[in-house]
Structure 1
Amino acid sequence: MTQKFRLPNLGLLNRNKIISFYFNGKKYFGYEGDTLASALLANGIHLVGRSFK
C-alpha cells in the first residue's frame, strides 16, 4: 500500500493487516491500529470539516 503522507515504520500499527473504510462515500485503506484521523491524513485527506462562526 502506498500512502505518500505516511511516516515510515513509526507507531504501533500492524502493517501486516490492511483495513478498508469508507469516508464521504469513497473507499480508503489504513492499517490495523490506525486512528481514523491518521488514516485519512495518510490518504491525503487534510480537510474533514469546517466551522463558520
Structure 2
Amino acid sequence: MPSCQDGSMGCEIPPNSLIFSFANMMERACEILEVHSAVVAEARDTCGH
C-alpha cells in the first residue's frame, strides 16, 4: 500500500490536494506545449521554412 503522506494515488485526498492537482495541471500544460512546439517545428520543416 502506498503511504498517504506523500499524496500517492489510492489514498484519501490530503488537505493540500489542490496544490497537487494544480502542479499536475501545470505539468500537463508544459507537456502539451512541448508537443505543440514539436508539431509546429515539424510543420515548418515540411513547409520548407
TM range (shorter): under 0.3
Instruction: Give TM-score, length-normalised by structure 2.
Output: 0.20
Q: Which has the higher contact order (CA 8 A, sep 6+)?
A: 1
Instruction: Give TM-score, length-normalised by structure 1.
Output: 0.19
Greater per-residue strand proportion = 1
